[in-house]
């Protein structure tokens, strides 16, 4: 999963649970857990149900509707647009020593990593649903291709941010060490 809390949240939400109950049982940073809950709900992994002044969450085991998939992609693409703007604004993501990342560069890489991991999480879910024949092959294939194009666009942009081979290699190593699965084409110098 993409945050340290996602697996715990899924295990706890087989039945309806209130936000405070989830936070208490998961343990950890309250704001990060709430953010994880919101992101999982945006991705259509959790159902939400308002109950007086509480929000209840439950793991969603059904396939994602076309509308919800498109809505999720809109959120992904809005985040991607923000990342692309930041890439254009940062002159370099590496320190002058060429070994370490600048603070803003590292924050950008972490945000991109989180978004890429979320996209891969959806791809994995689609593959599982396709194997179980819950979702038609054609729909799963179209959605996976759309997600892969989304990932490819941001990864190409971050790699093309610098012409230095050393920087490109450092970026590739960062993502290969921190993401679910990424395959890069070799850099031609």
Domain residue limits at 12: 6-59
Do 39 and 71 share a structural domain?
no
Do both 32 and 90 map to the same domain?
Answer: no
One domain, residues 110 and 152: yes
pTM given for the model: 0.76
Are 30 and 103 within one domain? Answer: no
Taking residues 49-78, what's their average pLDDT? Answer: 89
Is the pLDDT confidence value at 183 over 50? no
Look up the CATH number of the domain holding residue 13: 1.10.10.10
Residues 110 and 25 in one domain: no
Dihedral sign for Cα 15, 16, 21, 24, please: positive
Taking only the tens place, the pLDDT of each residue in 19-31 is 999 999 998 889 9
- Answer with the residue of higher pLDDT: 163 or 26: 26
Residues 172 and 134 in one domain: yes
Q: Please list the helix, strand and coil fractions of the chain in percent, rounded to the nearest 5, in that order.
A: 60, 10, 30
* Tokens coding 105: 């560069």
Query: Looking at residue 179, what is its pLDDT?
Result: 64
Question: Across the chain, what does the average pLDDT equal?
Answer: 86
Note the pLDDT of residue 70: 93
- Measured CA to CA, the distance from residue 101 to residue 168 in angstroms comes to 12
- How many domains does the chain divide into? 2
In a domain, residue 1? The reply is no
pLDDT at position 16:
93
Q: Are residues 171 and 111 in the same domain?
A: yes
- Residues whose CB is less than 8 angstroms from the CB of residue 115 and which lie 6 or more positions away in sequence, other chains included: 76, 79, 80, 83, 154
pLDDT of residue 94: 84
Three-class DSSP labels, 47-77 = EEEEECCEEEEEECCCCCCHHHHHHHHHHHH
Residue 188 lies in a domain: no
22 and 91 both lie in a single domain: no
Residue 184 lies in a domain: no
Provide the pLDDT for residue 98.
72
Position 189 scores a pLDDT of 37
Pair 56, 49: CB distance under 8 Å:
yes
Statement to judge: residues 152 and 111 lie in one domain = yes
Q: How far is CA 1 from the centre of its chain?
A: 9
First-to-last alpha carbon distance for the chain, in angstroms, is 35
20/36 same-domain check: yes
Note whether 79 and 129 are same-domain residues: yes
Q: Are residues 87 and 169 in the same domain?
A: yes
Confidence of residue 170 (pLDDT cuts 50, 70, 90): confident
- Sheet strands (E) in the chain: 17-18, 46-51, 54-59
């Amino acid at each position: 999963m993409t945050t340290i809390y996602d697996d715990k949240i899924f295990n706890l939400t087989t039945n309806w649970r209130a936000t405070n109950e989830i936070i208490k049982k998961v343990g950890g940073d309250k704001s990060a857990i709430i953010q994880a809950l919101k992101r999982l709900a945006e991705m259509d992994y959790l159902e939400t149900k308002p109950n007086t002044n509480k929000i209840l969450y439950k793991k969603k085991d059904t396939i994602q509707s076309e509308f919800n998939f498109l809505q999720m992609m809109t959120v992904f693409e809005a985040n991607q647009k923000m990342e692309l703007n930041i890439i254009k604004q940062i002159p370099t993501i590496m320190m002058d020593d060429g070994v370490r990342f600048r603070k803003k560069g590292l924050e950008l890489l972490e945000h991109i990593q989180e978004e890429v991991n979320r996209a891969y999480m959806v791809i994995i879910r689609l593959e599982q649903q396709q194997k179980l024949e819950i979702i038609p092959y054609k729909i799963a294939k179209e959605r996976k291709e759309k997600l892969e194009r989304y990932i490819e666009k941001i990864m190409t942009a971050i790699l093309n941010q610098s012409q230095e081979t050393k920087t490109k290699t450092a970026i590739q190593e960062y993502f290969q060490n921190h993401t679910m699965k990424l395959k890069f084409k070799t850099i031609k110098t």
